[in-house]
Structure 1
């Protein structure tokens, strides 16, 4: 089994796995979203059909190796007024003389040799089939990258909404405290007004976050083929289990990157195109066979025979050699060689771009992981600062403005941490896609 077939076999195997997602289920995991997209995404379905078309084209029925068999049949009626003179001088007239003719035949044509043109065309079709598999894999990879981008955006927005809900709860508690303090003369009306303004701002932020979350969930549902009902949630637990070695991953990139593999297939196809065009220099040898039946009925008094029937078989071999076609074959071969050269140059260009993209993705992944770890430490500091400020606020040792600032610092730290976490995860997915390992990811 070729490497390409193994890759697509693994995808088909995933499609055959039991699907644990049920409409209305609370949590949609990355594994389940992956399976749903494979099975229901419209772009993937179209790509799969294109692979089937390419596979059909490699069938022996489309190669020209089989003979052609045609059947012909016909009949005619001829009515004529005829006048004839016999040798003795007698003249005879036949009015409305009718002649009926019938025929039927089977004709077989088979090309014994066509200069190896169909041989290389068949090899070219097989390479086209391999290329269509790679194109389908590229569609699947791009769809999965889009899926993970939207999925982790939903997860981030879900966590952001939770943070904003907690913030609103704290702000409401602060308003209650400010109202009690104002009622008992421990604070001014200004503290109450400030708390109300902050509640309004927190409410607006939460409303916007929830609406954005709903919209992004709809985007996710489109990618997985509109298979989920409203109200589903996603998994917000993210891990980074990959202990990646840059050099090993780069070697996998050179072997498994789908763009490089497509270039290799195009080079093979171009090489077979040259060989196929060279078949124009060689002769074509064909075999012909025919079996026919003919019958003629003639009621004319001038006819020597009233009925004539014949059946028979004929066969032959023909050779056709286009000694000069005006230079068309030479031109096709020259252009095919140039196309092959362009494909090789394209390979060098793509190889350079893939190497650049890999290095950029590797550095981006490493940097985003570092930022995420820094943001995790920042969360601890911000939480500690907020909790201390909150205790002092309850004791009346800090103002509401200072408390609000500590609260905002915590909000920003949590939102930044969420952003950094999912940025790092998506950077990991991008790196795996470049290296050709995205479809082998372990969730």
Structure 2
């Protein structure tokens, strides 16, 4: 009995040392949403999706490039001309040319592919936001479940501590009765077994509470062994009618909204694939300066400065 009392004292000391700073359910949820690693990753994914959901990513804007080039050659040249122009045969002829200009490329039409591409990017943005919301909701649900489990375990622990006092008193009385001859040895053993069971029940409850507290610390992005104590008050939300709850669930349920957006995304992806069967119209243009120097020939020097453009239509016929 003395050993059991010492064990209980150590367990109570460990439990009280582990639980020092009291946190309410609202505080735990706020800390978790702020520091949880899964929530942080989901937030970064939202930022990335927002950056991608632009018309520039969908191909609505033209490409503008600065182009330049330089060419040099040295060859033995033999030129034959018709008419009165004499033929030329010369070794070590050097030819140089260089150019610089600004060019653009603009996709005029691609079978409405970029329209559906932009809508797909917007759907992906919505999907990422809803996935982040689901992660946060699951986190809150996990916290509330563990919080209530701790509250229930604390109530059970209080009851177990009361039970062990009764078991200790019973063992004491039965032991005295056995010494006086009013109780037999079997009664003493039965009381001892009940006391041992109560001690194991306390140990099990305290271990379960510590595991749940460690899990709460992990969900809050903290060291599992950080001292923590949950407040004993349990907030009870105002009661609402089932009709109102059903309407709110249909309007705000993230999983349902996620399925709807995923369906829209699949439709746009299908439209993008079908757009590849239609013709593509592409416009190009360039404004630049060209200079060519020839070591032999009729035209020894040529310089140009101006604008050029073109329009290309591509119609897919067969691609396997």
TM-score by length of 2: 0.77
Q: 1:85 to 1:212 in 2, by over 3 A?
A: closer
Helix, strand or coil: the match of 2:282?
Answer: strand
Match of 2:317 in 1: 325
Q: Which is further off, 284-293 or 186-195?
A: 186-195
Change (3 A) 1:144 1:85: closer
Q: Give 1:34 shift.
A: 1.0
1:316 to 290, 309, 315: 309
Secondary structure of 1:230's match?
coil
| Aligned mate of 2:28, from 30, 33, 56 | 33
Q: Are 2:154 and 1:154 equivalent residues in the alignment?
A: no
Q: 1:174 to 1:24 in 2, by over 3 A?
A: closer
The answer (yes or no) to whether the contact 1:159–1:236 under 8 Å persists in 2 is no
Preserved contact between residue 47 and residue 135 of structure 1 (Cα < 8 Å) = yes
Change in CA separation of 1:151 and 1:293 when aligned onto 2, cut-off 3 Å: same
CA shift, 1:46, in A, is 2.2
**Contact 1:24/1:228, CA 8 A, preserved across alignment:** no
- TM-aligned CA deviation for residue 84 of structure 1: 6.9
Contact 2:78 2:88 in 1 (8 A): yes
Trace 1:235-246 onto structure 2 (pairs within 5 A): 235-238=231-234, 240-246=236-242
Match in the other structure for 1:134: 130
Deviation at 1:78, TM superposition (A): 1.6
How do residues 249-264 of structure 1 correspond to structure 2 at under 5 angstroms? 249-264=245-260
Could you tell me which of 43, 63, 66 is aligned with 1:48?
Answer: 43
Q: Deviations over 1:54-85 (max 9, x none)?
A: 21221232121111022332223322234679
2:54·2:118 contact (CA, 8 Å) conserved in 1? no
Instruction: Give the Cα separation in 2 of the matches to 1:266 and 1:168.
Output: 57
Q: Please name the residue that 1:176 is paired with.
A: 172
- Residues 285, 190 of structure 1: CA spacing in aligned structure 2 closer, same or farther, 3 A cutoff? closer
Normalising by structure 1, report the TM-score.
0.58
Q: Is the 8 A contact 1:103 1:295 kept in 2?
A: yes
For 1:242-292, what per-residue CA distance to the aligned partner results, in whole angstroms no more than 9, with x for missing partners? 423222222222222222222322343344446555655655443321123
Q: Contact 2:286–2:307 (CA<8 Å) still a contact in 1? A: yes
> 2:19–2:229: 8 Å Cα contact kept in structure 1?
no
State the SS of the aligned residue for 1:111.
strand
Q: Alignment length, in residue pairs?
A: 301
Note the C-alpha offset of 1:183: 5.4
Larger RCO, structure (CA 8 Å, separation 6 or more): 2
RMSD: 3.5
**Of 80, 94, 110, which aligns to 1:98?**
94
| C-alpha distance in structure 1 between counterparts of 2:167 and 2:259, whole Å | 59
Seen in structure 2, the aligned counterparts of structure 1 residues 315 and 102 have a Cα distance that, compared at 3 Å, is closer
Equivalent in 203, 208, 212 of residue 212 of structure 1:
208
Residue 287 of structure 1 corresponds to 283
1:234 alignment partner, one of 230, 233, 251: 230
CA shift in 2, pair 1:127/1:47, >3 Å = same
| Structure 2 gaps, min length 5 | 1-17
Tell me, in whole angstroms, the C-alpha distance in 2 between the residues paired with 1:243 and 1:81: 97
The 10-residue stretch of structure 1 (136-145 or 195-204) with the greater mean CA deviation from structure 2: 195-204
- Quick one: structure 1 residues 173 and 274, their matched pair in 2 at CA, closer, same or farther if it must change by over 3 Å? same
- For residue 61 of structure 2, what is the aligned residue in structure 1? 66
Deviations, residues 288-338 of structure 1 (Å, cap 9, x unaligned): 21123333344x4x54565x242323333525252x63499xxxxxxxxxx
Gaps of 5+ in 1: 1-22, 329-443
Higher normalized helix content (fraction of residues): 1
